Copies of this chain bind each other. A is one copy, B any other.
Amino acid sequence: MSHPLIVNLERHGPLSDEERQVLQQITARVVAYRPREEIVAEGSTPSHSSLILEGFATRHNHSADGKRQITAFHVPGDFADLHSFLLKRMDGGVGALTACRVAQVAHGDLREITKRYPYLTRVLWFTTLVDGAVHRAWMTTLGRMAAGERLAHFFCELRDRLETVGMTKGDSYELPITQEELGDAFGMSTVHVNRVLQELRAEGLIASHGKTLVIRDWERLKHMGQYDPGYLHKDQKLERD
């Protein structure tokens, strides 16, 4: 069983034995969460960052009037709140969608990394920048695309992200996200999510059996969601030196 963080970071270039060892060490403390459980509370100031090892998680902000905006979905290998290392105060919370195993990385350990391992620092920084790029892609769908296009875009994005961690089976993958959560992520009511999903199914773009999503026409889905995976910077190499 390979370490999901190491696998993720090595997509951008090889790590030294020492670096791999450091990553092993700082991710040694693992905690389990049940479905729906809160991992990091909105407004809290954790002293560690949470790395998802198994399961799906969300990041979400609540507006003052109680509405929820989901700002990110996280899959194994993702740091859900690496930003809390420097930002300290969580502007949004992190929650488990399914049962999760999470490594807690002490902020002190991360600070040590910035002192001793410049390359590791840059790759970690890099992952937070990709996070921002995904935010911008979502903003673009939220602000300028129709409801169905937003969902199409997301299903494409999630496919690519799950594929890199080996969690797709051909054209399908597990999507443990309710319609309410999709609505909270993409700015639509649950009812409307439901109707739009029906259209996507009727169009022959997707199908779903239980929690499994099947992509029936990748090309048309991609086209509808105007999906271009560049912003994920999946295989972007970083200079070691």
* Residues in A lying within 8 Å of B, measured CB to CB: 59, 61, 63-65, 67-69, 71, 83, 86-89, 91-92, 111, 114-115, 118, 121-122, 125-126, 128-133, 135-145, 184-187, 226, 228, 230-231, 233, 236, 238-239
Which residues of the other chain, B, contact A91 by a CB distance below 8 angstroms? Answer: 133, 136-137, 230-231
Residues A89 and B233 in contact, CB atoms below 8 Å apart: yes
| Bound complex: CA A44 to CA B210 (Å) | 42
Identify A139's interface contact among B87, B111, B125, B135, CB under 8 A: B135
Main secondary structure of the interface of A (DSSP, over half): helix
| Bound complex: CA A142 to CA B141 (Å) | 10
| Bound complex: CA A86 to CA B239 (Å) | 9
16 example contacts (A-B, Cβ-Cβ < 8 A) are as follows: A61-B140, A63-B141, A63-B226, A83-B129, A83-B132, A86-B126, A87-B133, A87-B233, A89-B236, A128-B132, A135-B135, A139-B142, A142-B142, A142-B187, A143-B184, A143-B186
* Closest residue on chain B to residue A119 by CB atoms: B114
Which residues of the other chain, B, contact A138 by a CB distance below 8 angstroms? Answer: 139
Residues B61 and A136 in contact, CB atoms below 8 Å apart: yes
| Bound complex: CA A239 to CA B111 (Å) | 9
| Bound complex: CA A59 to CA B92 (Å) | 23
* Closest residue on chain B to residue A239 by CB atoms: B111
Residues B143 and A187 in contact, CB atoms below 8 Å apart: yes
Which residues of the other chain, B, contact A128 by a CB distance below 8 angstroms? Answer: 125, 128-129, 132
Residues A86 and B122 in contact, CB atoms below 8 Å apart: yes
Residues B64 and A144 in contact, CB atoms below 8 Å apart: no
A147 CB, nearest partner CB in chain B, Å: 11
A177 CB, nearest partner CB in chain B, Å: 15
* Closest residue on chain B to residue A124 by CB atoms: B125
| Bound complex: CA A187 to CA B233 (Å) | 26
Given the known A-B contacts A69-B140, A135-B139, A185-B143, are A236 and B63 also in contact in the complex, defined by CB atoms under 8 Å?
Answer: no
